[in-house]
Structure 1
Amino acid sequence: MKSTIIALLLLLACSTVCLAQCDKKLSLITSKTEHLDGSNNLERAVDEQTVIEIIDKKISVNIENGKQTLTGTIKSNTCDWKTPFKEGKSVINTTISDEDGGGEKDYVLTIEGKDGKVTLTAESVQDPDRKLRFVLDKFEEKK
């Protein structure tokens, strides 16, 4: 009985740590953008630094130190991380707009960590035949 209670407490503690990542302020940094078709085939790759910050219900994307800036509002966020920032998955539904007046688009962002590699895939709801994939150089809590 005592070992069962200890096991339940450990399981609860691990679950709290993994879910806590979902409520953190996050910073994602990448140095390459891969453009994919609807079947996830690589069309082209561009070397460019992109910084993505997720804070509360807001998302900001800064490409090449302000060359292009996008902002958005998060509609929903589901997440399941077995090892925070390393092994797991988040799915974020968001509306993103270009600060240069390019209009708003709905996106599904999928952040996935597997075998020590974390990627972010952005898929436009309006244009599912074009996707962006980023292999993250850094994925961490923003302080």
Structure 2
Amino acid sequence: TGERQAARIRSLYLKTILKQDIAFFDTETNTGEVIGRMSGDTILIQDAMGEKVGKFTQLATSFFGGFVVAFIKGWRLALVLLACIPCVVVVGGVMSMLMAKMSTRGQAAYTEAGNVVDQTVGAIRTVASFTGEKKAIEKYNSRLKVAY
């Protein structure tokens, strides 16, 4: 899924940042930029991979086109199918609530993972001097696993 790929990209990005020389953090970047890139760019990738808009358009067109064909070919059967729509709507509503709950849980996990990045990059000299990069990556990955 798009969320899983975004989590993987975030993890690889953190690994790459932590492998940079200390001078990189003095001249090339700052903490805000690193965090902004980790959250902003990966969200764009996640949305593109999710293809939400295209999929919705495809499904809506198929649904309405199918009903037009059904009414033309067999209006009695189409009326029976029309009676099933309330059930489909209820199931869709339940799925939407579940997805919203999962999304909230995912955002909380990403916030915790972002805090790990903020602390790690903010104290990169200390992390590097104690060779804590591996532990920071493990901590970050453990926070991300809660999201999915």
TM-score by length of 1: 0.26
Mark the structure with the bigger radius of gyration.
2
Q: Please identify which structure carries the higher helix content.
A: 2
Higher RCO (C-alpha 8 Å, min separation 6): 2
Q: TM-score, normalised by structure 2?
A: 0.26
